[in-house]
Homo-oligomer: A and B are copies of this chain.
Amino acid sequence: MKKYKVVFHVDEMNKWELTINNANNILKDVKEEVEVVVLANYESVKLVNSKENYDRDLMKETHKKGAKYIACKNALKGQKIPEEDVLDFVELVQAGVSELTKLQHEGYAYIKP
């Protein structure tokens, strides 16, 4: 078990870059010791739509370093994004807010960039 656990919460498109940079910074700082989750809900799930063309280089790099990406199915529905179009390395949960609650109950710190 790793020493530190943290979930980053993103719900606005214009906060993705900062959120991924934050995830990258903690991975660089305490890499072997931290479990990183990035959870996206509301409009921010647009970024995980594989049919849309975004720069996802740092997102993929942090994923390779161990960051887990999770998106909210309710939000995908709200944004009319079919689940099969979601990037293949992104996990899905029914309600992002339930997952944020559960993760904190499991000892994850919460950061909202």
* Chain A interface residues toward B at CB < 8 A: 4-6, 9, 11, 18, 22-23, 25-26, 28-30, 34, 41-42, 74, 94-98, 100-105, 107, 109-113
A25: B residues at CB distance < 8 A: 74, 95-98
How close is A78's CB to chain B, nearest CB, in angstroms?
9
- B29 near A95 with CB under 8 A, answer yes
Known pairs A11-B18, A105-B4; A26 contacts B98 (CB<8 A): yes
| Residues B29 and A98 in contact, CB atoms below 8 Å apart | yes
Interface centre among A5, A26, A109 (most CB of B within 10 A): A109
Known: A95-B25, A95-B29. A6 touches B111 (CB 8 A): no
Q: Known contacts A18-B42, A25-B74; decide if A9 and B111 are in contact (CB<8 Å).
A: yes
Chain B residues, CB < 8 A from A101 = 4-6, 26, 34, 109, 111
What's the minimum C-beta distance from A65 to chain B, rounded to whole angstroms?
A: 14
